Amino acid sequence: MNNTIAPFTGFGLGLRKEHHQDFLRAEQALDFVEIISENFMACGGWPLRTLEAVREQYPVAMHGVSMSLGSPEGLDVGYLAELKALAGRIDPLWISDHLCWTRVGGFATHDLLPLPYTQEALDICVTNINRAQDVFERPLLIENPSSYVSFPESRMREWEFLAALSGETGCYLLLDVNNVWVSSVNHGFDPLAFLAGIPADRVRQIHLAGHSAGPEGMLIDTHDAPVCAEVWQLYGRAVERFGPCATMIERDDAIPPLPELLAELALARDAARMRSIAA
């Protein structure tokens, strides 16, 4: 098994159905493309032809939402097999998923549900990540999700949990700066403390996204709006701390024309360049 993921410093977007024709018609100003893995697993026909055509033009990162790494019941063997088959087909930059659970008692939730930061949860995540990394024969990237509740039994902060997870499994991290901001508002922590607690050499990718207002001053990670000023500012601090690494803008709802997202991505390039020079 290859235990390392070499740094990759580029700027990318998610491949969404609304933009398939744009990608097929012309080369876009992107260094990589991220796919939602589940959209192309156990799949063929036109969607797979599109992915293969895109893969010929760009490196592809595989980002999953259903591995359920926080499941005490363990991982779904069939899911792992399908994911591995897709990875074999497209040779991705890396495979990522979230620090969350999405399945229990035979039911799927199709949402990234939060974990208490306890030793039991850490042990379960370590076991599951090691299992997945053995199957894929490569380290995973684990992303911090947004969360809307916390648990009284938690004994660690989220960033301490992620650092321990990376230390024990050798996994890398996908830092979602918008999620850091959203959770910091929802739970009242300092987002810079989050960044400071993440091991700098383990971050391989950064997500940027928009969010919306929820009940009672909370924020919701909706991916339906441009990146806000606070998140841009936090991104600058992240680049200072983690150095330039693969950055992408996620948009999953109210998806605008591709040129609009490319223009927003250009802002990320500029912000990263300025912060890199300043650092």
Partner 1 sequence: MSLLERQIAFRAEIAAQDDASPPCSPGMEIYRNAYRGRLLAALEISFERTRGWVGEEAFTAAACHFIIAHPPEGWTLDDYGSDFPGVLAALFAHDPEVAELAWLEWHMQRAFAAPDKPELDPAALASAGYSEADWANLRFAMAAGFAATPVSTCCAQLWEALENGPADACEAGGRAEAALLVWRSGTSPRYRLTSIEELRALEAIASGAPLAVIAESCHVARLGEWLSQWLRDGLFSRAIPAIPEEVCNG
| Residue 65: how many other CB atoms lie within 10 Å | 19
| In the complex, minimum distance from the CB of residue 134 to partner 1, in angstroms, rounded to a whole number | 19
CA distance 86 to 90: 6
CA distance 172 to 7: 11
Interface residues with partner 1 (CB under 8 A)? 38-39, 41-49, 66, 70-73, 76, 79, 101-111, 113, 115-116, 118, 120-121, 124, 147-149, 151, 153, 186, 214-216, 218, 220
| In the complex, minimum distance from the CB of residue 258 to partner 1, in angstroms, rounded to a whole number | 21
Q: Which is nearer to partner 1, 176 or 239 (CB)?
A: 176
Distance from the Cα of residue 91 to its chain's centroid: 18
| In the complex, minimum distance from the CB of residue 139 to partner 1, in angstroms, rounded to a whole number | 22
| In the complex, minimum distance from the CB of residue 212 to partner 1, in angstroms, rounded to a whole number | 11
DSSP 70: T
| In the complex, minimum distance from the CB of residue 154 to partner 1, in angstroms, rounded to a whole number | 11
Q: What are phi and psi of 151, to 5 degrees?
A: -120, 135
**What is the identity of the amino acid at 262?**
L
Of 233, 237, 224, 221, which is closest to residue 185 (Cα–Cα)?
Answer: 221
| In the complex, minimum distance from the CB of residue 220 to partner 1, in angstroms, rounded to a whole number | 6
Of 273, 186, 185, 266, which is closest to residue 227 (Cα–Cα)?
Answer: 266
Residues 6+ apart with CB under 8 A from 148: 114, 186, 214, 218, 220
